[in-house]
């Protein structure tokens, strides 16, 4: 049958059956995205569960736990990139992951930044810039949710900006820890923080037209639903 996918099972009338039927592939994809038990979601949960361990290490006397805290934070940053790779390359993208991954990323960065400021490893003005950016993004996401618009997916710049801060924060800790190359670590931390903040704010600005388009689409959809049908 012309147009039928290769390998599709056909009905006696010549129509494709199973997942190749009209809407079948999209339905299968939607069912796949409803999954909860995936490796990326497990890694996201692991990052969240390790936050208390990170804080406990920072509270060790005489900064004895700072090296371990920096290594843990760096490892959590690696898992952030790893879960995205697994989700894309092994067909484990899920709706829960799309929501939880950026949320846990923000919680991790903010917790680490605030803890580092409290311990004197990061200047407060730097964290204020990070907090302002996160507040702007969260406010925009809340406004879209209240308007009934679809969620705007995280851009590559947003992920790269978060990764930059995930690199900078453990380096700041190493820069103030009893560590041989602490001066080099602090210099690298400022470099990573600079491009992380730049990409983060670039992403925040880039979300504006996408958020506006999502809101317009939501209004049009609501108009179609509420308007009476004309025969």
Total-model pTM: 0.64
What is the rounded distance in angstroms from the CA atom of residue 57 to the CA atom of residue 72?
9
CATH, domain 33-224, list 2.60.40, 1.10.3210, 1.20.120, 3.30.60: 1.20.120
Residue with tokens 């697994």: 86
With a pLDDT cut of 90, the percent of the chain lying above it is 7
The encoded tokens of residue 124 equal 């407060």
What is the rounded distance in angstroms from the CA atom of residue 127 to the CA atom of residue 180?
26
How confident is the model over 115-122, as a mean pLDDT? Answer: 85
What is the rounded distance in angstroms from the CA atom of residue 112 to the CA atom of residue 51?
8
Supply the pLDDT for residue 156.
81
| 229 Rama sector, left if φ>0, alpha if ψ -120 to 50, beta otherwise | beta
For the ranges 12-21, 42-51, 206-215, the one whose mean pLDDT is highest: 42-51
Band the pLDDT of 226: cuts 50, 70, 90.
low
Task: Output the CA–CA distances (angstroms, integers) from residue 51 to 67, 109, 113, in the order listed.
Answer: 15, 10, 12
Band the pLDDT of 117: cuts 50, 70, 90.
confident
At 16, give phi and psi (nearest 5°).
-70, 145
Residues in contact with 46: Cβ distance below 8 Å, sequence separation at least 6, in sequence order: 79
Give which of 141, 68, 73 is closest to 102, Cα–Cα: 141
The answer on pLDDT for 132 being more than 80 is yes
What is the rounded distance in angstroms from the CA atom of residue 207 to the CA atom of residue 19?
35
Interval 48-68: pLDDT, tens:
899 899 989 888 888 888 888
Supply the pLDDT for residue 197.
92
Higher pLDDT, 124 or 162: 124
The answer on pLDDT for 112 being more than 60 is yes
Burial 22-52 (b: 16+ CB within 10 A, else e): eeeeeeeeeeeeeeeebebbebbeebeebbe
The answer on pLDDT for 188 being more than 90 is yes
Give which of 69, 147, 145, 136 is closest to 108, Cα–Cα: 69
Q: What is the mean pLDDT of the chain?
A: 77
């Amino acid at each position: 049958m012309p147009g039928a996918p290769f390998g599709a099972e056909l009905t006696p009338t010549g129509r494709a059956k199973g997942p190749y039927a009209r809407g079948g592939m999209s339905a299968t994809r939607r069912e796949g995205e409803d999954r909860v038990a995936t490796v990326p979601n497990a890694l996201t949960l692991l990052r969240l569960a390790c936050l208390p361990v990170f804080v406990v290490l920072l509270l060790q006397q005489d900064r004895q736990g700072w090296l371990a805290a920096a290594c843990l934070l760096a490892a959590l940053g690696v898992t952030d990139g790893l879960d995205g790779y697994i989700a894309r390359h092994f067909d484990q993208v899920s709706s829960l992951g799309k929501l939880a991954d950026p949320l846990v990323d923000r919680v991790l960065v903010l917790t680490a930044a605030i803890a580092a400021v409290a311990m004197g490893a990061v200047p407060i003005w730097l964290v204020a810039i990070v907090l302002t950016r996160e507040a702007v993004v969260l406010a925009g996401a809340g406004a879209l949710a209240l308007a009934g618009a679809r969620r705007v997916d995280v851009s590559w710049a947003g992920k790269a900006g978060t990764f930059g801060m995930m690199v900078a924060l453990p380096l700041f800790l190493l820069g103030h820890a009893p560590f041989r190359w602490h001066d080099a670590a602090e210099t690298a931390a400022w470099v990573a923080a600079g491009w992380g903040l730049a990409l983060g704010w670039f992403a925040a600005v880039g979300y504006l037209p996408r958020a506006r388009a999502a809101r317009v689409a939501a209004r049009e959809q609501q108009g179609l639903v509420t308007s009476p049908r004309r025969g």
